Amino acid sequence: MSEHVDRRKFLKQASAVSAGLAMAGRAFGSPNKLNPGRVIGANDRINVGLIGCGGRGTSDGKSFAKYARENNNACQIVGVCDVYTKRRRINAENHQCKAYADYRELIARSDVDAVIVATPDHWHATIALEALDKGKDVYLEKPMCHTLEEAKKLVDTARESKRIVQVGSQTTSADQWWKAKKAIADGMIGKMIMSQGSYHRNSIEGEWNWPIEPNAGPNGKGDDYINWSMWLGPAPKRPWDPDRFFRFRKYWDYSGGIATDLFFHVVAPLNICWYKPQFPTRVVASGGIYAFHDREVPDTFHLLAEYPEGHSLVLSSSMANSQHIPGLIRGHEGTLVMVEHGMFERYSPYLTVKPEIVSLSDNDEKGPFPDYKYGKEEVRIPVEQSDMMMAHVGNFLHCMRTREKPHLDVETAAHAQVLISLAVDSYRDNKVKYWDAENWRSQDHPISA
């Protein structure tokens, strides 16, 4: 895959996938001239469009509406879009707004200040890029995109357009990560050696096997109609398959499975904890389909990554066993425990810094580092308890007004996206992947010095 494709050419090609479908021949404005968007005053209500009204999109819309109710009507949902008639009708009724079958019509509205992109992963980049070109700020659900090339184009376009992009891993707005960042910067664990985490679940029917509505599809009438061609968009063309539509996370065409759905919630906050976001140099992944054989993606998945600053990352996950591994960062002089039960999407009321016990020599008794400045006992750092989703939405809206960098800006999120995309490629190709950050490309052999 070429990593030097012109961004405008990419955007044109991606948009052409859906041209001639529901809105064939209609003019939505040129994507080749960036629109600066309106300046939002401190007391202006922010108008938001919701694109993608499935489970996550519906939840996001409710969260924005809840934030508005609790914060002087700071924002409002003014339009919703989905290829499934029933979903867009229900969401339009919930928000008392207009429904759209084609996202381009919603993006083209001059009164829309921002859009929520909560479609399946394979549409994220195309819609977000078009929205940025139209001068919209973007709340972009995780994972931020589907490919390495798309991640680079999102970073470049956000810089070029000077728009706000908040990637929707709401856990990054929790207080614990920022407290962890300070603890590491203050030297409480010494030289960082290794980070670890996990994300485990278990269910009888198998993860992502959401209910299928039997009457829905491209031949459905009224509420049951789904524009399957539009939904496929940039993905490979396939005959209608309700399992792919309702359970898209099981298929490589639209998702990276555990890596993109769940590990993003681990890697994004780690890139906040570390003293700066970092790209890996070497990534290897393994796992398999051990319990649920109705899918393409693995139900058990692990990755190991190495970083140029001299530390490693180990992540483990299974959708067939729910026992977690604690989420922590190991240092040469101490260990910072962020999540005792392993799930990075939740948090404890405090962080724990455990002093490292070492043997100074073969004959000496074990003891703490002689110069360990935080003493021999565990240190507990209180963490503010809050609604992470409300904090994340609030941070996005605040940054729309101030033009400050949001908690999970596009560049920080890109560091997480590169890792999980490399892990997916490593698993699928059965190869170690090496990342050339300077040229933004993956290769199967070590980067030359």
Q: Is 44 within 8 Å of 74 (Cβ atoms)?
A: no
Assigned domain for 400 exists: no
| Domain enclosing residue 7, as ranges | 1-21+39-163+211-242
Do 234 and 198 belong together in one domain? no
Do 103 and 141 belong together in one domain? yes
Q: Residues 339-354: what's their mean pLDDT?
A: 75
- Short-list 133, 145, 141, 131, CA closest to 166: 141
CATH number at residue 124: 3.40.50.720
Do 329 and 296 belong together in one domain? yes
Percentage with pLDDT > 70 across the chain: 87
Give the list of residues 6+ apart from residue 241 with CB closer than 8 angstroms, or none.
Answer: none
Q: Is 322 within 8 Å of 201 (Cβ atoms)?
A: yes
Do 122 and 75 belong together in one domain? yes
Assigned domain for 248 exists: no
Supply the pLDDT for residue 22: 35
Neighbours of 202 (CB within 10 A): 14
Supply the pLDDT for residue 339: 87
Give the list of residues 6+ apart from residue 276 with CB closer than 8 angstroms, or none.
Answer: none
Do 99 and 47 belong together in one domain? yes
Do 190 and 269 belong together in one domain? yes
Q: Residues 94-106: what's their mean pLDDT?
A: 98
Supply the pLDDT for residue 365: 57
Query: Measured between alpha carbons, how far is 281 from 272 in angstroms, rounded to an integer?
Result: 18
Confidence band for 31, pLDDT divided at 50, 70 and 90: very low
Do 147 and 288 belong together in one domain? no
Assigned domain for 51 exists: yes
Assigned domain for 299 exists: yes
Do 60 and 91 belong together in one domain? yes
Q: Is 139 within 8 Å of 116 (Cβ atoms)?
A: yes
Number of domains in the chain: 2
Name the token pair of 161: 């357009």
Do 230 and 322 belong together in one domain? no
Assigned domain for 33 exists: no
3-state secondary structure 416-435: HHHHHHHHHHHHHHCCCEEE
Supply the pLDDT for residue 369: 59
Vertex 50, ends 45 and 54: CA angle to 5°? 145
Name the token pair of 396: 């996005």
Do 67 and 111 belong together in one domain? yes
Do 277 and 226 belong together in one domain? no
Q: Residues 315-341: what's their mean pLDDT?
A: 93
Assigned domain for 29 exists: no
Assigned domain for 405 exists: no
Do 107 and 186 belong together in one domain? no
